[in-house]
Amino acid sequence: MDLSLSEPCVDINLPETDLKEFASKAKDWNFLHGVIMKSKKDFSDDYVQIAPFLLLPSKYPKKEFNKAKLIQTSINALMHKVAHDYEFLQSTLKNTIEVDFFTSKLFDIYEKVHSEGFTQSISLGLLRADYMMHSTDGHKIKQVETNMISSSFAGLSVLITEYQRFALKELGHMEKIANIPNNNSAEGFAMGLVEAWKLYNKKESVIMIVVEDIVYNIYDQRVIEFCVRTLNPNIVVIRKTLKDLIETARIGPNKELLVNNMEVAVVYYRTAYQIEAYTSEKEWSVRLLIERSLSIKCPSIHYQLAGTKKVQQQLAVPGILEKFITDPKEVDEIRDVFMGIYSLDLNEQGDKATAMALKDPKKYVLKPQREGGGNNVYNEEIKLQLDGMKTSKERSAWILMERIFPPLQKNYLIKANEEVKIQNFISELGIYGVIMGDENQIFYNTEVGHILRTKPADADEGGIVSGAGALDNPYLVD
């Protein structure tokens, strides 16, 4: 499909000498301010590399940016209510859990703690709702997904905002800095963790970040961790892997979660969203132990299930949003950002969706129940995937979504060990939200910031950690 090409925010056809000099300065600024990651090729505690970023901010319609920000608290509340509706989650996921091992294991934990009664009724959500502008619909934003667990780059996004202001100033465009919106995502996420710690109400308790065995994106996590310490220096923050917790975690006499004899007030997951995190039944047992404890989980098991693609698909069914939202205006605002999303269950509707995808696969994206990027199927690969499970129940582990075709924009990608060159890019806007509450009420609900993740136009997947995407920021235009 031909995509419209948007002009850059400033003239970016820099002479080669000027480009090299400015790219070097840009790298130094970002190294100096911590826009960095661990290298996947040469991982070491002692070496870092620049996180990929765009030299200049990308133009974005102010109206659509503000729309995404304004509906974030509604998205937060919607996902909170979905997570607390046992019957809805059960009926929505019943076919999926028959064929998707990962979702079935999560749901098994959910059923156990639900039947036992939740020790801790309060859940904390640090969310990110992702959108792309759709070229064939007046450049309106359309939702890609809502991330309910380990929403990344709330830390580094704040730094890239400051960098791109610096870049415009250095290139002589001081008057354009006002077009880059303020961003408080790191402090916003940190405040959510602090508020949960306060609600737990034990001064000696700690916040625990559960992390992967090897963390490439550690500095994004550290920004939030250190923001917590800035907001309240009395809070101790610890970092543990699931493997660590096999040996060190236990439940105390009052169902408190104890790790190395420290009481944990808040468990903040930056892992546990992929099957690879659970290398044995012991990790699953740790997840169950944590869910049974008194600590406030971010996210709880039911929050995580609410973020599955199957739930996203079901929410797009006419009449379903009204089950959770009573205000018709709010319903319309949320439904307006939905693309067509279709079930692939073994029934008439699933067969119809399969036929649509096989007829014109370029119009769709095939999505499994996974987070973390790199899992979706595009173009002719959709045919191969669907042909292999056309009459199999395995189809229920996937959903089909109409593909969003965002406009193109020229820019320069700055990436470790790669030549800087001008090319076409597409962008995905993420809006961060924080919500906390129980089944009966919401105590805290706010929108806290944003991230623009930009990738080359010819890349299907755009994960920053996986290597295709880059940190960016919107430059707002009327």
Q: Per residue in 90-134, pLDDT tens?
A: 999 999 999 999 999 999 999 999 999 999 999 999 999 999 999
State residue 3's pLDDT score: 63
Among 232-241, 363-372, 435-444, 460-469, name the one with the lowest average pLDDT: 460-469
Report the distance separating Cα 41 and Cα 401, nearest Å. 34
Amino acid (1-letter code) at residue 209 = I
Q: Looking at the annotation, which residues are catalytic?
A: 128, 145, 147, 152, 309, 367, 371-372, 453
Task: Specify whether 377 is located in the same domain as 334.
Answer: no
Predicted local distance difference test score (pLDDT) of residue 465: 73
Between helix 185-200 and helix 218-231 the angle, nearest 10°, is 60
313 labelled ligand-binding: no
How many alpha carbons lie under 13 Å from residue 297 in its C-beta half-sphere? Answer: 26
* Residue 137 confidence (pLDDT): 77
Are 139 and 161 found together in one domain? yes
409 and 397 fall within a common domain? no
Q: Is the pLDDT of residue 207 over 70?
A: yes
Residue 368 preceded by cis peptide, ω within 30: no
87 appears as a binding residue in the annotation: no
Q: Angle, nearest 10°, between helix axes 156-170 and 16-33? A: 140
The answer on 146 and 88 residing in a single domain is yes
Q: Cα–Cα distances in Å, from 157 out to 35, 220, 346, 430?
A: 9, 8, 42, 10
- Boundary (domain end) residue, out of 376, 403, 430: 403
Residue range(s) defining the domain that contains residue 381: 341-403
- Check whether 401 is labelled as a binding-site residue: yes
Q: Which of 387, 403, 419 is the last residue of a domain?
A: 403
Average pLDDT over all residues of the chain:
95
- Same domain as 285, residue 219: yes
pLDDT at 462: 59
Number of domains in the chain: 2
Quote the pTM value: 0.96
Query: What is the structure's pLDDT at 390?
Result: 81
Residue 229 in this model has a pLDDT that exceeds 80 = yes
pLDDT in tens, 401-427: 999 999 999 999 999 999 998 999 999
Can you tell me the distance from the alpha carbon of 310 to that of 170, in angstroms, rounded to the nearest whole number? 47
pLDDT at 444 over 90: yes
pLDDT digits (tens, 9 = 90+) for 58-94: 999 999 999 999 999 999 999 999 999 999 999 999 9
End-of-domain residue from the set 403, 426, 455 = 403
pLDDT level of residue 203 (50, 70, 90 thresholds): very high
Confidence of residue 370 (pLDDT cuts 50, 70, 90): confident
Q: What is the pLDDT of residue 10?
A: 87
**DSSP string for residues in 265-294:** EEEEESS-SSGGG--SHHHHHHHHHHHTSS
For the segment 148-187, what is each residue's pLDDT rounded down to a tens digit? 999 999 999 999 999 999 999 999 999 999 999 999 999 9
Mean per-residue pLDDT for 26-42?
A: 95
Residues 52, 94: one domain? yes
404 marked ligand binding residue? yes
- 271 lies in the same domain as 391: no
Same domain as 354, residue 315: no
- Please name the residues in contact with 441: beta carbons below 8 A apart, sequence gap of 6 or more: none
Is 335 annotated in some ligand binding site? no
Residues 233 and 281 occupy one common structural domain: yes
375 assigned to a ligand binding site:
yes
292 in a labelled binding site: no
Q: How many residues does the chain have?
A: 478
Give the pLDDT mean for 254-266: 98
Query: Binding residue per annotation — 376?
Result: yes
Same domain, 301 and 445: yes
Q: Are residues 392 and 413 in the same domain?
A: no
Q: Is 370 annotated as a binding residue?
A: yes
Check whether 439 is labelled as a binding-site residue. no
CATH of the domain at 399: 3.30.1490.50
Q: Check whether 417 is labelled as a binding-site residue.
A: no
Closest by Cα among 125, 127, 298, 158 to 227: 158
**pLDDT in the model for residue 467:** 65
371 annotated as ligand-binding: yes
**Rg, C-alpha atoms of the chain:** 22
Residues 275 and 386 both lie in one domain:
no
Token pair of 231, please? 């907001």
**pLDDT > 90? residue 334:** yes
Average pLDDT for 344-356: 94
